[in-house]
Amino acid sequence: MIAQVIVNSSAQELNRIFDYKIPEGYTIGENIDIGYRVLVSFANYKSLEIGYIIGFKETSAFKCKTISKVCDRAFDEKKFELAKLMARRYFCNLSDVLRLLVPPGTSNKIDKINIKYERWVRLTKKYLDYLQGHVEEIKNYKIRSQKHQKVIDFLLDNKEIPIAVLTDFVDVGAPVIKALENKEICESFKMEVLRNPFLNKIVKRTSKLELTKEQENVMNQVEIGKYCEYLLYGVTGSGKTEVYLQIIEKVLDSGKNAIVLVPEISLTPQITDRFLARFGRVIAILHSKLSPGERYDEWRRIQSGEVRIVVGARSALFAPIKDVGIIIIDEEHDSSYKSETTPKYDARDVAREIVKKENAPLVLGSATPDIKSFYRAKQGEIKLLELPNRISSQGMPDVKIIDLREELASGNKSMFSRFLYDEIKKNLENKEQTILFLNRRGYSTFIMCRDCGYVVKCEKCDVAMTYHLTKNKLLCHYCGAEKQNVSICPECGSQNIRYFGTGTQKIEAQINKMFPDASVIRMDIDTTQKKNAHEIILNKFRDEKIDILLGTQMITKGHDFSNVTLVGVLAADSSLNIGDYRASERTFQLLTQVCGRSGRGDKKGRAVIQTYLPDDFSIQMAKESNYLRFYENEIKVREKLNYPPFCDIMVAVISRGKWAKSSRRCKAIFQNF
């Protein structure tokens, strides 16, 4: 028999099937199958290459070599079908997709799989037989030392145990064990250990809450055991997560398993804690901040079947979990669900393909759904579920918009309006906590007049132009138009032109000066480089009752702190000018999410949005937390300008060594459309 093999390479020339003979001793369906990884010698390469078996046939038209080594099984036929679909849809090599399906860290070094071992010890079978009288007296087995006897007694009780634990418990040194080994009374052996990322984590178990009528209603509409796509639109704090937990419980009871995607999971330890607290160790967590070894171990726990729920970032879709009974995508509007590296896929589309095959529901949840998803719901392609009210009787926070132009006119040049200053002071006096959000996307890249709020935009595309320092020019990232940089506002003639972006560090210093007695903790790219840094900062904020949490985008997501009653947005505008047709959508989402961090407990929340563009529709709607009106307006704009969902935008990057070559290639592609 011949195995059809795909070689693990991104080179386009190798994106095809190669034939290899199956070695002696291997039978299809037993120890070799579709999805096995193999090592093969390839062309005149010196080292062996990794390949994936994707099929079999009787004979080959070529004189082919034999597979050098059969390794582990990385995926099954279902996953392979998915991979084929993705390779077609996302224009990439099959091996680029297959790489997602293998255990993390092993796609390029199959022989050096990162397994951690411990030495364990147990009594020998011979000695146990002897104790039971099956074997005649052996002189070695006479025990004179009390220490030896203690070890033996302990092993009789505990059977197998790590040497380190044994020596600790019985209080003997390693030489004692060695001596017993020499007498063939006990034997030590290598035991694989799974690194456990939760090892030092204490999580209190929770039981399910009694659902509100609204939650109950949503629960009842989600049918398990059947393919259907749902969009759960629920305001911040409306109890979406509790609904997820209970639907999953239902799925587990039906014998199936669940996948939950959360955005940038390392930023949101709280949500994983909630899953852990409800379901315990049947959960596996996969995210980028785990060490490669930890990730690999989680992967193997999933493979072993002990895991029922995988919680993770988008790549968790490819975890080897069987019988998927539901996929939930939380904060479905989040941009991290689109992969920007090869293969460039949208997790929501891939999830849909998976649940279709598994006859299972797909639940997309958000307080601020992607315009495209909501449009699909309106068109009847997705079933819309709603949680319009907060669980807390205090309702949504009161939001006030502050016009920074007026502040400036009255001589206040700081980043804090007088109103926000007073509110922070009030919170400090009441011992309530404050979150300050600095919208830093588009850092220093766009230019705005501080007197009238004018932003230089591309006339054709109506998006903000991006400032390029190296050229000292403004560029439109859509059509490539260039403009001279401005130093005087073309609208009002003011010279108060500002390059946008103020660092968090600078603001922290300002806060320290304004409120010398307040404790401040900062969360941004600088303070979160270390592993678990997010979690440490957030725990500190919660447990040590730090007065002010100051941060960038990463503080906007998914946190639930009951003592936070004030959220301040220092400058709302920077995401309005990111040079993207989704700028309004992003701004609305960001502001709604961040304001939604306020007043989640039993105290009423407040939020202050500082802006140079107080009349902007996305800011106004975020103030009202009115997604529906925002949507109605935005969808009209999209239709008029023919932006998605009324068209698809595709970016094709063509790179060749020489300009002439790439230009020719571009033309060829262009003519094909």
Cα 606 from Cα 136, distance rounded (Å): 82
Phi/psi at 361 (5° precision): -80, 155
Which does residue 391 bind out of ligand ADP, Zn ion, none, counting CB within 5 to 8 angstroms by kind? ligand ADP
- What is the helix (H) or strand (E) element at residue 424, kind and residue range? helix 418-429
> Can residue 28 be called a binding residue for Zn ion (CB under 5 A)?
no
Which does residue 479 bind out of Zn ion, ligand ADP, none, counting CB within 5 to 8 angstroms by kind? Zn ion
Looking only at residues 554 through 593 of this chain, which bind ligand ADP when binding is defined by CB under 6 A?
560
> Can residue 35 be called a binding residue for ligand ADP (CB under 6 A)?
no
> Can residue 77 be called a binding residue for Zn ion (CB under 5 A)?
no
How many helices and strands (H and E) does the chain possess?
20, 26
SS3 category, 478: coil
Q: Residue 30 or 210: which CB sits closer to ligand ADP?
A: 210
Binding residue for ligand ADP (CB under 6 A) from 49, 96, 242, 451? 242
272-281 burial code (b ≥16 CB/10 A, e <16): bbbbbebbee
Count of residues that interact with Zn ion, criterion CB under 5 A? 15
Q: Residue 365 or 551: which CB sits closer to ligand ADP?
A: 365
Binding residue for Zn ion (CB under 5 A) from 481, 533, 536, 637? 481
SS3 category, 17: strand
> Can residue 454 be called a binding residue for Zn ion (CB under 5 A)?
yes
> Can residue 625 be called a binding residue for ligand ADP (CB under 6 A)?
no
Which does residue 458 bind out of Zn ion, ligand ADP, none, counting CB within 5 to 8 angstroms by kind? Zn ion
- Position of tokens 């502001």? 591
CB of 363 to ligand ADP, least distance (A): 12
> Can residue 509 be called a binding residue for Zn ion (CB under 5 A)?
no
Report how far apart the first and last C-alpha atoms of the chain are (Å, whole number). 43
**Cβ-contact 39, 68 below 8 angstroms:** yes
CB of 240 to ligand ADP, least distance (A): 3
**Cβ-contact 273, 240 below 8 angstroms:** no
> Can residue 263 be called a binding residue for ligand ADP (CB under 6 A)?
no
Q: Does the CA dihedral 635-636-642-643 come out positive or negative?
A: negative
> Can residue 461 be called a binding residue for Zn ion (CB under 5 A)?
yes
> Can residue 479 be called a binding residue for Zn ion (CB under 5 A)?
yes
In 463-582, where does DSSP find H-type helix?
A: 504-514, 533-543
Of 34-42, 191-199, 231-239, 247-255: span binding ligand ADP (CB under 6 A): 231-239
Rg over alpha carbons for the chain, rounded to the nearest Å, is: 30
Binding residue for ligand ADP (CB under 6 A) from 4, 8, 106, 238? 238
CB of 274 to ligand ADP, least distance (A): 8
Binding residue for ligand ADP (CB under 6 A) from 35, 51, 103, 234? 234
SS3 category, 508: helix
Looking only at residues 432 through 451 of this chain, which bind Zn ion when binding is defined by CB under 5 A?
449, 451
**Cβ-contact 381, 352 below 8 angstroms:** no
Length of the chain: 673
In DSSP notation, 354-374 reads HHHHHT-EEEEEESS--HHHH
CB of 344 to Zn ion, least distance (A): 23
CB of 258 to ligand ADP, least distance (A): 16
**Cβ-contact 150, 186 below 8 angstroms:** no
Closest CA to 457 of 483, 437, 434, 436: 483
543-557 burial code (b ≥16 CB/10 A, e <16): eeebbbbbbbbbbbb
Which does residue 209 bind out of ligand ADP, Zn ion, none, counting CB within 5 to 8 angstroms by kind? ligand ADP
Looking only at residues 208 through 227 of this chain, which bind ligand ADP when binding is defined by CB under 6 A?
209-212, 215
Q: Residue 271 or 465: which CB sits closer to ligand ADP?
A: 271
Binding residue for ligand ADP (CB under 6 A) from 4, 167, 241, 575? 241
Extended strands (E) in 94-160: 116-123
Apex 351 CA angle, 350 and 354, nearest 5: 90
Binding residue for Zn ion (CB under 5 A) from 458, 507, 567, 621? 458
Q: Residue 235 or 455: which CB sits closer to Zn ion?
A: 455
- What is the helix (H) or strand (E) element at residue 623, kind and residue range? helix 617-624
Of 235-243, 378-386, 410-418, 445-453: span binding ligand ADP (CB under 6 A): 235-243
Burial grade of 419 (CB within 10 A; 0-12, 13-18, 19 or more): middle
Beta bridge partners of 66: 21
Of 189-197, 238-246, 487-495, 609-617: span binding ligand ADP (CB under 6 A): 238-246
CB of 634 to Zn ion, least distance (A): 20
**Binding residues for ligand ADP, per CB under 6 A?**
209-212, 215, 234, 236-242, 391, 560
Binding residues for Zn ion, per CB under 5 A? 449, 451-452, 454, 458, 460-461, 476, 478-479, 481, 489, 491-492, 494
